[in-house]
Amino acid sequence: MDGMGTLGSVGEAGAPVRYSVETRWLHWSCAWLVLAQFVLGELMHRVPKALHGPIVSAHLSLGVLLAALFVMRVAWRVTGGRAIRFPARDGLAGWAARAMHGVLYLALGAEIGLGYLARWSGGKPVTAFGAVINSPFGPMSQATHHLFGSAHGWLAWAIMILAAGHVAAVLYHVRVVRDGVLRRMWA
């Protein structure tokens, strides 16, 4: 393969040495959207009132886009779209990598769900790029709204900490292990 197909580029023994274009695109698109969402989420509480509305609108629209990409990414992963195996995936290192990815997927899925619930529990629809997504639930209490909003905010910070750990692991592989892990996901 030439790196453009489902399995990515192929090494001498016929094993993929680089993730597919689709896998890399989904990974980096989600990563940049998560970072943008975090920044917008933190900004919306710290900007002058005149900027609050546009930042909330951007946060909601990018959140719906992230939700769609997240669903695509999970579907891609469970259907084997990212099929690539490495010796480093065995033993403790492999367990840690799988655990980190699993926790990141669970946390991101929960964060997306909490974002919708935080908005809907406040009696407001989720709006994205002009489209309106109304709540499928009835009215909720102020305490429930506060709970969803707080959980959404705390989980956002937890995801940033997990992502920083993920980046630290990549840098460890780049500088210490030198196994080309970043090249497989970068280009």
User: Closest Cα partner for 30 from 135, 118, 132, 108?
Assistant: 108
User: Closest Cα partner for 83 from 144, 6, 153, 152?
Assistant: 6
C-alpha angle 149/124/128, rounded to 5°?
95
The count of residues in the chain is 187
pLDDT digits (tens, 9 = 90+) for 162-183: 999 999 998 998 899 888 777 8
Check pLDDT > 60 for residue 146.
Answer: yes
Please give the CATH superfamily to which domain 21-82+89-182 belongs: Transmembrane di-heme cytochromes, Chain C (1.20.950.20)
Q: What is the mean pLDDT of residues 28-56?
A: 96
Q: Where are the domains of the chain?
A: 21-82+89-182
> Who has greater pLDDT, 92 or 141?
141
Check pLDDT > 90 for residue 68.
Answer: yes
Structure token pair of residue 81: 């779209």
Q: Is 91 left (phi over 0), alpha (psi -120 to 50) or beta?
A: left
Q: How confident is the model at residue 155 (pLDDT cuts 50, 70, 90)?
A: very high
Please report, rounded to a whole number, the percentage of residues in the chain having pLDDT higher than 70: 86
Q: How confident is the model at residue 107 (pLDDT cuts 50, 70, 90)?
A: very high
Task: Determine the 3-state secondary structure of 10 from DSSP.
Answer: strand
What is the structure's pLDDT at 3? 35
Check pLDDT > 60 for residue 131.
Answer: yes
What is the structure's pLDDT at 82? 60
Q: Scan for tokens 């980096």, then name that residue.
A: 28
User: Closest Cα partner for 151 from 113, 96, 178?
Assistant: 113
Q: What is the DSSP string of 130-172?
A: TEEE--SS----HHHHHHHHHHHHHHHHHHHHHHHHHHHHHHH
